[in-house]
Amino acid sequence: MEAARGSGSVKPGGLPLLRNLEFATIEFATIELVSREESSMPPEVHVGTILMSECAPVLGLETEPYSGRWSMVTAPDGSTLDRKIRAAGWNFFFIASQVKVMFFGGLGAKKIQNALHRILGKVGGEHFNGLEVTGIVAKRFLGVPYAIISAHSRHAQKSCYLDGDETRQSS
């Protein structure tokens, strides 16, 4: 047998005991890391997902925490959310300018979350209180996978005229 390769005694099955202990420790650590990661993962993002900041509780919308001051609205789609906001006496604006972010690699929840953080950083200076994910596209160029996430700002307010930047910033 190859008892000289292993450091320690050899099990009757022919594998060194030390290697079995290392494998068991690695397997246990992997399971523990996966369970920690799953518990801290934000809800799944897809096309049509709407993130809202501070006005969601005022409107009585059901949300799940997403990141920082942003929460994910659990309404089934944008039109249902729009009806709920209008029923509360508010207006829900769709801002026409599109924001896109690209990243290399396949689609994954963590990569999409990082892309949304980049998008929120880009639109943060405009002081809108909502963001709608309008596109998640996986592509390849010369065999290299990449993805493009696109979103539009949304804004909920009482007035039927979109407030200026200073007013949005102070509210």
What is the rounded distance in angstroms from the CA atom of residue 105 to the CA atom of residue 144? 7
The total of other beta-carbon atoms located within 10 Å of residue 45's CB is: 18
Q: Supply the pLDDT for residue 37.
A: 39
CA 127 to chain CA mean position, Å: 20
Find where tokens 């099990």 sit.
11
Domain ranges of the chain: 9-40, 50-170
- Note the pLDDT tens digit of each residue in 36-80: 334 455 568 888 888 888 766 677 778 888 888 888 888 767 778
What is the rounded distance in angstroms from the CA atom of residue 161 to the CA atom of residue 122? 24
Torsion of CA 70, 75, 80, 84, to 10 degrees: -70
Question: What single letter denotes the amino acid at residue 67?
Answer: S
**pLDDT exceeds 80 at position 157:** yes
Helix (H, G, I), strand (E, B) or coil at 20: helix
Find where tokens 């290399």 sit.
104
- Note the pLDDT tens digit of each residue in 80-113: 888 888 888 888 888 889 999 999 998 888 999 9
Going by pLDDT thresholds of 50, 70 and 90, the confidence category of residue 29 is: very low
Question: What single letter denotes the amino acid at residue 16?
Answer: P
**pLDDT exceeds 60 at position 28:** no
